[in-house]
Structure 1
Amino acid sequence: MNRNYQMRLYMREHLPLYLFVSVLLVMGIVFGALMVNALSPGQKEEMARHVNSFLQIANQGSEFGGTNTLWDSFSLHLKWIGLIWILGLSVVGLPLIFVLDFLKGVLVGFSVGYLVGQLSWKGMLLAFVSIAPQNLIIIPALVLCSVGACAFSIYMVRNRFMQKRGALYPAFMKYTTTTIGMAVLLFLVALFEAYLSPSVIGWVAPMVTGQAG
């Protein structure tokens, strides 16, 4: 009960940060989707070849995913939140945390926008099974890590001005524990991307390529 109360108190205290980071991500998604219109015909054709090649592999039942995908995916997620954790340790890194949040939104928005723009409802279906599921967890985890980093960075500034250096360690441990918790969650996401997502994409691929039997 006490822990739940502390969690609610923490979220209420940092609500402006949660809203700001969430808005940044949404802005990034919208910006990324709009970026698709700025692609040249040659760039769109090149990307279309990559998407078609990937769909053909999935459609033929070829093996993809597995251990290599697991560690590649987890490594990418870990680097992302690890960088946020490091930036949270320095006040000067605070703006870069916001840049990373915006960039993540751009990547998601661009991917979804491209698939929908090029493949219409089929692209929406493909985005729904290949992009949406993991990002329903990745984005909230990123928000929690970013808010934790911002809150700790602001706390350090206040700590130095108020000269209460003894109170810094518990805040650091809470901040680090949150990041480690999100890393564990993102490992589960990587498991999904490596072992479950390929099967779902393989099931949808014939519908997208028009080869459903």
Structure 2
Amino acid sequence: MKKKPVLSHSFQVHLKNQGSLVIFVTVLFMMGVIFGAVLVNSLDPSQKEGLLNYLGFFFQGLSENAIADSKVAFQHSLGDHLKTIGLMWILGLSVIGIPVLLVLLFLKGLVIGFTVGFLVHQMSWQGLWFAFVSVVPQNLLIIPAMIIITMAGIHFSISLFKNRLIHHRGAIYPHFVSFSLLVTGMAVVMLFSSVFEAYVSPVLMKEAIPTNITLK
């Protein structure tokens, strides 16, 4: 019977472990989305009215081109994204940061779920369409980037733990460089997301402003 090469077996084990991590992290994010959508039903009428009033002012400003200048919006968006992934990079450098990384990803899902859920709950199909053009496009870049950084951070933290406390080896620097380069690559992804959010999203949102805003 032919024996499988050790390298091939190790690669298969690595893929299996990464696959399990992908599923876990993705499910965690989806749980946040679902929990956020469910939270909409727990709002009392006064809270819903306050949110609707805010939306009304936002829609009015959007229709009158009175929202923030695109350049300013881009700077704020990129700054927020870079702060987020910078924090995730720092958290990924230690084992104790893993729970916080997971919480950040869960909260991101919760915010998206709540936003989309509220718009749909209050404005039905118009709210769904507005959510689709205002929330979905940039998050098609943001969410995968956050998931990738979370996975890489967990992988680096585990590698650090094994190297320092189990095998007592010092070859952690290449892992650190790889993790840092990956985070830098995701920062570029966030740059494109911010460009879309600042220059394209307002145009799409203006065309999709709901006409029926009532308290339900």
Q: What is the TM-score when the length of structure 2 is the normalising length?
A: 0.88
Matching of residues 23-102 of structure 1 within 5 Å: 23-62=27-66, 64-102=68-106
Per the alignment, do residues 9 and 176 of structure 1 end up closer, same or farther by CA in structure 2, a change over 3 Å counting? farther
Matched-pair contact (CA < 8 Å) for 1:65–1:195: no
1:187 is aligned to 2:166: no
Q: Secondary structure in 2 aligned to 1:68?
A: helix
- Contact kept, 8 Å, 1:55 with 1:209, in 2: the verdict is no
* Structure ID, larger Rg: 2
Q: Which residue of 2 aligns with 1:3?
A: none
Q: Which has the higher helix share?
A: 1
Against the structure 1 CA distance between its residues 17 and 37, is the aligned structure 2 distance closer, same or farther, given a 3 Å change threshold? same
Q: Is the contact made by 2:93 and 2:153 (CA closer than 8 Å) also made in structure 1?
A: yes
For 1:181 and 1:138, how far apart are their aligned partners in 2? 12
1:4 corresponds to which residue? Answer: none
Separation in 1 of the partners of 2:89 and 2:162? 19
Let me know the Cα RMSD of the aligned residues. Answer: 1.8
Deviation by residue 1:187-210 (Cα, 9 ceiling, x = unmatched):
1100111111111111222xx126
In structure 2, list runs of 5 or more residues that go unmatched.
1-10
Instruction: Determine the structure 1 residue equivalent to 2:8.
Output: none
TM normalised by structure 1 equals 0.89
SS, match of residue 209 in structure 1: coil
Aligned partners of 1:65 and 1:198 also within 8 Å: no
- Counterpart CA distance in 2 for 1:169 and 1:59 is 52
Superposed CA deviations along residues 136-165 of structure 1, whole A, max 9, x for unmatched, are: 111111100000000000000111110111
Q: After superposition, what is the alpha-carbon deviation per residue over 1:6-39, rounded to whole angstroms, capped at 9, x for unaligned?
A: x999655411111111000000000000001111
Structure 1, unaligned runs of 5 or more: 1-6
Rounded Cα–Cα distance in structure 2 between residues aligned with 1:156 and 1:115:
43
Residue in structure 1 matching 2:169, options 161, 164, 167: 164
Q: Which runs of 4+ in 1 moved over 6 A?
A: 7-10
Q: Identical aligned pairs, as a percentage?
A: 41
**CA distance in structure 1 between the aligned counterparts of 2:112 and 2:46, rounded to whole angstroms:** 22
1:196 and 2:212 correspond: no
Q: Which amino acid is 2:126 matched to?
A: K
Letter in 2 for 1:67: K
Match of 1:110 in 2: 114
On the 8 A contact 1:87/1:96 being kept in 2, the answer is: yes
